[in-house]
Structure 1
Amino acid sequence: MRLHHLAFALTLATACTVAGAADLLGPGVISTGLQETSAAFSPDGDTVYFMRSDFAEKDDTILVSHRQGAGWSTPQVASFSGQWHDSEPGFSPDGRRLYFVSNRPPRPGQPPVEASLQGRRFAGTHLWYVERQPDGRWGAPVHVAGALNDGAQIYNPSVAANGDVYFSAHRPDSGRFYQIYVAHWTGHGYADPERVALGDLEHNRMDPCVDPQQRFLVYAGDEGDALGRADLYIAFRQPDGRWGKPEHLGGDVNTADLENAPSLGPHFGELYLSSNRQDDVHYPKARDDAASLQKRLAGPLNGSRNLWRVDIAEVLRRHGVTPAGSSPPAR
């Protein structure tokens, strides 16, 4: 989710649905003094794709890192990225596909996708995926067909086990703000997107992260009680199939800073998010020299967006969601 999309968000409130403490992902390796968002883990948890960009988020690239013992390998540009404005990777639950959004031309010879909002033009996005080949490598990027790619503002794809794709977008029925949509997989393609009913249209809602069995949905926005520019909320599927009232996640999930781009980790209750939280500076501080100042200001907690891990297992259990059946069948 882009920072200018969050200009809609308000600032209020209190937390209620409590989660565990937050841990920085790969400090200095994955989480750095640049902008990192949108962690996408392989089903075995040994590989993570994520987005890295400049502070203005005009230069987005998808990187990949592999687990090495207790740490992570030096990230490399993903095989399908590095030329276009690529961002927001998301695995299908079986690991066979990796979805992402990009401004690359939908077809050869066409111009890059461009979007406009409130009189400003910027790199637009369409939904793409790469598919795992028999040799283990990714195939060529595939542009997803269907009405979900109408327009040029589709963000943060999240895929359920049955192939349904959740995403955020600004569409004709979104009102003034961004809303969350789902495009159901029909077996032959994607049906027209439907707006997910989470409340009135006077609140900004982005970056959906859906449980593979669609038992719950985590997203970023402000339902009127956000602590900062955007917080994370969770909604649970009700017995009648509708989504319950969104609940504000507490604990270390949300702060007075920006929280967004949630994604599920490989273990039950693992939630990854992007946040620009940073260490407080207390004065008088220990006197800096040029080297110590440079090291601190270039580090992960310099106000850039980083990737954090939190545990929401107890939140899920209190709502009847258990690990049983959480590993989705292959598509």
Structure 2
Amino acid sequence: MKRPLFALFALLLPVCASAAEAPSTVHPWTPVGVSSDLFESHPAFDPRTGDLYFVRSSKEFKGWRILASHCDGKQWSAPLPAPFAAPGAEADPWFTPDGRSVYFISTRATGNQKSKDLDIWRADRAADGRWQAPVRLPEPVNSGEAEWFPRMAPDGWLYFGSNRAGGMGKNDIWRAKETRPGQWTVENAGPAINSAGDEYEPLPSPDGKRMIVMADGGLYQSRWDGHQWTKKEKLGPEVNVNGSEIGALFSPSGKSLLFARDTGEPNSGEFFVWQPDGKENWPPVCGAAKHP
């Protein structure tokens, strides 16, 4: 990335040692039974069962539905609607680390497919492990506009995207915290994260020290300096190939990032895993499948 240094080293090292030949840290993840010629995105793993939840939509990224697949010991099973599914558009599943709750967005209140009606919902597990009926989060978390990609940080702030009034541009990143049972405070994530353009999806890291933001042009990263978020910076060209990168998920260690990208025909959207610090045994292997 630092072109002057690279130019200097090029004079000193053989051509075969150029940076262009460095091993890639981004690899496709196309699990048998899950990958299709449609658009798969927004993965989430149930911490209790290991089941893979994800969004499948048309090649044009329409008609979002949350599906779930179980590893049967050989491969991922044929995906079925999530156990908490309802009519309408639904997307962006995220499990709390203890597996007690899952957050997602849905138009189930109206049943239609228009994104303007997307709200944040939460389903909790009963004592027997089954999912209870989802509950819509109250205002001011939800609004009369669309909400996107609810993700809880370790400090209890729920980050999400919304194009509600009072932002810094179009869609902004917001955060909410439940101060008392049923009462929430909501605030804008600030100018380090938001711009005059669109910011849709916030993903705090498991340790709360980083945040991946899906915004205009792909995926960005911000860091927590102990007091506030630093100005977001776009991830490099290995991750951001065409600006369609979306739906990121950290591994539990925070060392790997799973995301989706629109690859065009014949596979419209598929998963990729970024491992900048070296290989990690994640995403989970099902059956005889091997990591790249």
Return the TM-score normalized by structure 1: 0.70
> Which residue is 1:99 aligned to?
103
Aligned counterpart in structure 1 of residue 147 of structure 2, from 136, 154, 178? 154
1:215 matches 2:209: yes
Amino acid at match of 2:270: N
Establish whether residue 164 from structure 1 lines up as the match of residue 169 from structure 2. Answer: no
CA distance in 2, matches of 1:175, 1:29: 42
Structure 2: state its 5+ residue gaps.
1-22, 279-292
Report the more deviating stretch, 230-239 or 203-212.
203-212
- The CA deviation at 1:112 is 4.3
Shift of 1:96: 0.7
Give the one of 21, 25, 28 matched to 1:20: 25
C-alpha spacing 1:132/1:204, structure 2 compared with 1 (3 Å): same
Asked if the contact 1:21–1:251 (Cα under 8 Å) also holds between the matched residues in 2, the reply is no
| 1:236 matched residue in structure 2 | 223
**In 2: Cα distance, 1:191 partner to 1:220 partner:** 25
Counterpart among 244, 255, 277 of residue 258 in structure 1:
244
Alignment of 1:1-331 (within 5 A): 20-26=25-31, 28-43=32-47, 46-69=50-73, 71-105=75-109, 111-112=110-111, 122=115, 124-197=117-190, 198=192, 201-222=195-216, 230-239=217-226, 241-250=227-236, 252-277=238-263, 302-313=266-277
Q: For residues 116 and 197 of structure 2, what CA distance do their matches in structure 1 show?
A: 24
The aligned amino acid for 1:72 is W
Identity of aligned residues (%): 27
In the alignment, is the contact (CA less than 8 A) between 2:39 and 2:270 conserved in 1?
A: yes
Q: Which residue identity is paired with 1:237?
A: W
Residues 307/204 of structure 1: CA separation in 2 closer, same or farther (3 Å cut): same
Q: Write the deviation string for residues 96-132 of structure 1: whole angstroms up to 9, x where unpaired.
A: 1011111111xxxxx44786xxxxxx55201101111
- Contact residue 173 and residue 194 of structure 2 kept, 8 A: no
| Distance across 2 between alignment mates of 1:237 and 1:88 | 24
Q: Could you tell me which amino acid in structure 2 is paired with residue 73 of structure 1?
A: S
CA distance change for structure 1 residues 39 and 151 in 2, over 3 Å: closer, same or farther?
same
CA distance, structure 2, for counterparts of residue 104 and residue 266 of structure 1: 30
Unaligned runs of 5+ in 1: 1-17, 106-110, 116-121, 223-229, 279-296, 315-331
Give the count of matched residue pairs.
255
Deviation at 1:40, TM superposition (A): 1.1
Q: Deviations over 1:266-288 (max 9, x none)?
A: 3431211110125xxxxxxxxxx
Structural RMSD (CA): 2.5
Higher RCO (Cα < 8 Å, 6 or more apart): 1
TM-score (norm 2): 0.78
**Structure 2 vs 1, CA of residues 113 and 187 (structure 1 numbering), >3 Å: closer, same or farther?**
farther
Partners of 2:42 and 2:151 in 1: how far apart? 11
8 Å Cα contact 1:60/1:85 also seen in 2: yes
